[in-house]
Amino acid sequence: MLLRNPVNVMLFNLPRMIEGYQSLTALHGLLSDPDAAPYQGGRRVPPPGTLALQGASFQYDDRLVLHDVDLAIRSGVVTALVGANGSGKSTILNLLLGFYRPCAGRVLADGVPYDEVDIRELRRCFGIVPQEPILISGTVVDNLLYGLADVAQDEIAQALELADAADLVASLPAGLATEVGDGGVFLSGGQRQRIALARALLRSPRVLLLDEPTDHLDERSTARVLANLRTLPSRPAVLLISHRPETAGHADVTFHLEAGRIVAVEPAPAGGGQAPAAGR
C-alpha cells in the first residue's frame, strides 16, 4: 500500500522520462559532433554590406525545394522576398543565417563564401524578428536587454522609437517594468512583435531580417518602422519576408518566389525607393 502511489506516479511519468532522455541524447550528439554545423570556417569579416545567394539550390531528403536562386540584400536597401506559403522563403532565411548549406551554389558575405567565414561571429551582425517572436517570462526591459549588458537608457529609448514601440511601452501599466508573462502571454501579437523588433534594433544590426512582419503589424506601422530605419546614419540591410504581395510596396527591391524559383525581380515604383534595383 505504501508503494502503490509512488509506483503509479513513476509509471505515469515514464513516457515523459523516455522522451526527455531521447531529447538529451540528441542534443548531446549535436553539441559533440564537430561536423554537425554546416560551416566550419574561421575567417572574421567586417560587418557585411551585402549578403548573397549565387545559384543556390537546396533539397530536403530527395525533394528539391530551391532551384538555382540568385538573391542579394545590400546595406541601406530594403529588400522584399514575396511568395506563397511553401514557396521556399524560410529555406532562404535559414541559408542566409548559415543554418542550412546549399546542395549547389554558394552563400556569400561581401563576396566571401560562408565556407571561409566564422559563422557565429557573422551572426552577431544579424537582427532577426521571427514570425512568432519569443519572449521570456519577465518584464519588458528584461526582454529588451536579454543577452546584453551596460545599455544606456537613451539607447533603449531610441530602439523603442525606431520600432514604433515607445507609445506602446508608455501605455503599459508599469512601462518598461511591466510583466509580459511566459512567452509574452500578457501582450497581443502586435505588441510582442514591436518589443522583439526593438530588441533586435538595440543590437545595432548590420542585417535585419523580418519574417512576416505584416502578420501582426498593419501596413501603416510597417511603413513607419521602415521610414525610421531609413533615417539611421548607418542604415542596415533589411529583408522583408512575406506571403503578401502588398509588402512589395514598402521595399526598394522585390524578389518574387514561386515553387523555389525567383520568377521576377522588381524595383520600387518611381519615388518609392532610394536604392538601385538588384537583378538575378
> Cα separation of 92 and 114, whole Å?
14
| Record: fold of 37-125+205-275 | Rossmann fold (3.40.50)
**The pLDDT of residue 216:** 76
**The pLDDT of residue 180:** 93
Whether residue 92 contacts residue 66, with contact meaning beta carbons closer than 8 Å, is answered with: yes
> Cα separation of 180 and 260, whole Å?
38
Q: Average the pLDDT over 131-146 and give the result.
A: 91
Amino acid at 270: A
Partners of 53 in the beta sheet? Answer: 71, 107
pLDDT bucket at 170, cuts 50 / 70 / 90: very high
Domain ranges of the chain: 37-125+205-275, 134-202
- H-helix or E-strand containing 223? helix 219-229
What does pLDDT average to over the chain?
88
pLDDT in tens, 47-75: 888 999 999 999 988 889 999 999 999 99
Nearest alpha carbon to residue 212 among 224, 204, 222: 222
CATH superfamily of the domain spanning 134-202: P-loop containing nucleotide triphosphate hydrolases (3.40.50.300)
**pLDDT over 90 (residue 37):** no
pLDDT in tens, 172-192: 999 999 999 988 899 988 899
> Cα separation of 268 and 251, whole Å?
6
Q: pTM (2 decimals)?
A: 0.79
> Cα separation of 100 and 97, whole Å?
8
DSSP string computed for 238-253: EEEEES-GGGGGG-SE
Domains 37-125+205-275 and 134-202 share a fold: yes
pLDDT in tens, 246-256: 878 888 999 99
Question: Residue written as cell 501596413?
Answer: 219
**The pLDDT of residue 34:** 61
Whether residue 247 contacts residue 84, with contact meaning beta carbons closer than 8 Å, is answered with: no
**The pLDDT of residue 270:** 43
pLDDT in tens, 67-110: 999 999 999 999 999 999 889 999 999 999 999 999 999 999 99
> Cα separation of 180 and 204, whole Å?
24
